[in-house]
Structure 1
Amino acid sequence: MKPLHIDTNSKVPVYLQIVDSIMAAVRDGDLRRDEQIPSINEFSEQYLLSRGTVEKAYKELREKKVILSVKGKGYFIYRTDVNMPLRVLLLFNKISNYKKQIYNAFVKTLGEGVFVDLHIHHCNVQLFDSLICNNLGDYDHYVIMPHFYDQPEKVLQIIRQIPEQQLLLLDKDLPGITGRHAAVYQNFEKDIYEALYDALPSLKKYTSLVFVNPSTIVPYPPEIRKGFQYFCRMHDFEFSVMEGVELSTPVKAGQAFIVIEETDLVNLVKICRQNGLTIGEAVGIVSYNETPLKEILLDGITVISTDHEQMGVTAARMILEKSTEKIKNPFKLILRRSL
């Protein structure tokens, strides 16, 4: 019998951790019918647990008919048809078209035998704490988008409660979380720098670059802006950062805009049309995150984007394959006529 993960510091009662761990081992094929498991005393000594705690767990497993006791011989696995589908708690920071792409690909790749419970934490540390603490021990995997901008140490403390083999960080990895957890992440600062570098020949025809910081309730990672600023300094571009685009925002020929939010993109297109500024000639536009609409709008909007569908597929495969890798998701430039 492989060692089980028992966390005595967890808020989940230890006896339930024993029950869940043995049932999961049966479900995963690590424990087979008629295979003997340690006695109560042996289990207690191996994991430094009280005999009463192990006895309580074994009693529940007997009631579920997962194990049976044979007098004078010990405890054996009895049932292997344990109806225990994989349960995944999926925590997004917000809902958007891009998050929907990730979710749909994630659920489709996992297949019908997996239960996925989606919640939104809105970058709210208190809400996130509640979602984790109230659900510890109830799921086999915890897939978290760790986009938070306050109380970073508190966030790390909350996440560290999750057993590392059950944790998958999505969209962003956290250097403060060590151990063998899985991650499918973007490197926001490096990604935008490299994508803009690929667009350098087209960007050089503009005199200045403008980063449009989205004025949204739930912020975007600040590393995106930092990567833009670093690119401009390294390649001697005049640059500025503005908070959103209103219909009254002044736009001049010779400017190229890097736009995050689609509302700002629409307003920018309207301003250019009203002022006779040809997009792709007088004014350049680079939009963040690919959508089908950007492929056809104005004969094509240049995009820098991660592959959201691939992120969902990769995360699901890692769960199914029990992988603890840390995989950087693809990010690329799609050059179109708007630049």
Structure 2
Amino acid sequence: MYKLQLKPADKMPKYKQIVQSFIADIERGVLKDGAQLPTITELSGEYDLARDTVEKAYRELRERGFLTSVQGKGYYVQAHGDTKLKILLVFNKLSSYKKLIYYAFIEALGDQATVDLQIHHYNAHLFQEIIERSLGKYNYYVVMPHFTLATSQEEYLKVLELIPAEELVLLDKDIPELNRQVPGVFQDFNRDIGGALDALAKELERYPRMTMILPSDDNYPVEIDRGFRQFCRYNDKQVAVKDNATDEVLTPGTAYVVVRETDLVELVKKVRQTSYLLGREIGIITFNETPLKELLNMTVITTDFEQMGRTAAQLILEKKRIKVKNPFYTIRRGSL
């Protein structure tokens, strides 16, 4: 039996909701061309609808070319020939790194899908609004589930659980607490930073102190802080985590791990105002590769953003229901 998408609290007339439900599933490919629809009697009985309501909906669908009727046999889908997948991509924010994911995702999908992009800005309530008004309209919902540190896990879990498991793909972050198995491409922030710093252990031997500049106002995953502190503890480093580089007083023998580009620029300016040598008395490791960091000869630890986009597209196109850890790697340069 066809599953109709009806919302009792919606002020839209019931016949309009029926029309929208059928059109959404035809466009998503859930209802294939030529598929037989429930009879008016079946649909009205299943959903406790007046026959006139169903008849009015079917009449509009027929007038708009989405179904055809055969005397004595019933109603059949008349698709409009668009078989592309419809995908909703929901990011936490739009940045240069997110653009790399987006364009790689689009390129990997090619002409097999159309993609709409929405931004929830770390706001669980906005995320809920986006999902609730989009349910039933897409084949897949690809979600980046990063929210403010003050957001309780229950807030966004209940929204993710609104999305059918077979239509949800998680991006950038895994959520083991989700009560069903869903595919995704994720970073393991704790292990990734620990592994990247381990790879630089020889270069870091000359620095007894390590300081991470991690802004508290930008909702970075807490696992970044945790992985950094674990590395310092296991390697007997003096450790500090600071909100910004503005008031930082440079001390020789310190290696900085810098997340935000503005703090990187501030640190480089401070180094140049001293006699300290970058890569000798002061070390700098930065997050995520950009042309500026290459120009400044900065050592970088970074995830492969383009690979993340390609892998997410591959999971959808190949209908794979697996979790894939995204590559994380180190670029050694002269700042360490």
8 Å contact 1:19–1:57 — kept in the other structure?
Answer: no
2:335 to 318, 335, 338: 338
8 Å contact 2:29–2:83 — kept in the other structure?
Answer: no
Structure 2 partner of 1:293: 292
8 Å contact 2:2–2:37 — kept in the other structure?
Answer: no
Post-superposition offset of 1:265:
0.8
8 Å contact 1:125–1:151 — kept in the other structure?
Answer: no
CA distance in structure 2 between the aligned counterparts of 1:25 and 1:281, rounded to whole angstroms: 60
8 Å contact 1:11–1:133 — kept in the other structure?
Answer: no
Structure 1 partner of 2:280: 281
Structure 2 partner of 1:205: 206
CA distance in structure 2 between the aligned counterparts of 1:165 and 1:17, rounded to whole angstroms: 18
| Structure 1 residues without counterparts, runs of 5 or longer | none
TM-score, normalised via structure 1 length: 0.84
Post-superposition offset of 1:163:
1.9
Post-superposition offset of 1:9:
7.8
Correspondence list, 1:1-339, <5 A: 15=18, 16-25=20-29, 31-33=32-34, 36=36, 39=39, 49-50=47-48, 59=59, 61-77=61-77, 79-83=78-82, 85-112=84-111, 114-148=113-147, 149=149, 150-215=151-216, 217-246=217-246, 248-297=247-296, 300-339=297-336
Post-superposition offset of 1:309:
1.0
Change (3 A) 1:50 1:62: farther
Change (3 A) 1:57 1:337: farther
Letter in 2 for 1:192: I
8 Å contact 1:122–1:218 — kept in the other structure?
Answer: no
Change (3 A) 1:197 1:40: farther
Alpha-carbon displacement from aligned partner over 1:175-216 (angstroms, at most 9, x marks no partner): 23232433111111111111111111111121111111125x
8 Å contact 1:123–1:218 — kept in the other structure?
Answer: no
Alpha-carbon displacement from aligned partner over 1:20-70 (angstroms, at most 9, x marks no partner): 3344337xxx8354x55565566789xx64475876765554344343332
Letter in 1 for 2:222: P
Mean Cα displacement is larger for which, 36-45 or 270-279?
36-45
Change (3 A) 1:85 1:57: farther
Alpha-carbon displacement from aligned partner over 1:244-283 (angstroms, at most 9, x marks no partner): 101x421111111111001111111111111121111111
Letter in 1 for 2:243: E
Mean Cα displacement is larger for which, 99-108 or 183-192?
99-108
8 Å contact 1:10–1:161 — kept in the other structure?
Answer: no
Letter in 2 for 1:260: V
Alpha-carbon displacement from aligned partner over 1:146-198 (angstroms, at most 9, x marks no partner): 11121321111122112222222211122232324331111111111111111
Mean Cα displacement is larger for which, 97-106 or 314-323?
314-323
CA distance in structure 2 between the aligned counterparts of 1:195 and 1:98, rounded to whole angstroms: 19
Change (3 A) 1:6 1:204: farther
TM-score, normalised via structure 2 length: 0.84
Change (3 A) 1:106 1:188: same
8 Å contact 2:67–2:79 — kept in the other structure?
Answer: no
Letter in 1 for 2:201: L
Secondary structure at 2:127's aligned position in 1?
helix
Alpha-carbon displacement from aligned partner over 1:111-161 (angstroms, at most 9, x marks no partner): 356433323222122222222223323333222211112132111112211
CA RMSD of aligned residues (A): 2.9
| Structure 2 residues without counterparts, runs of 5 or longer | none
8 Å contact 2:25–2:137 — kept in the other structure?
Answer: no
CA distance in structure 1 between the aligned counterparts of 2:124 and 2:114, rounded to whole angstroms: 25
8 Å contact 1:165–1:180 — kept in the other structure?
Answer: no
8 Å contact 2:258–2:285 — kept in the other structure?
Answer: yes
8 Å contact 1:286–1:338 — kept in the other structure?
Answer: yes
8 Å contact 2:253–2:282 — kept in the other structure?
Answer: yes
CA distance in structure 1 between the aligned counterparts of 2:32 and 2:94, rounded to whole angstroms: 40
Secondary structure at 1:227's aligned position in 2?
helix
Identity of aligned pairs, percent?
A: 43
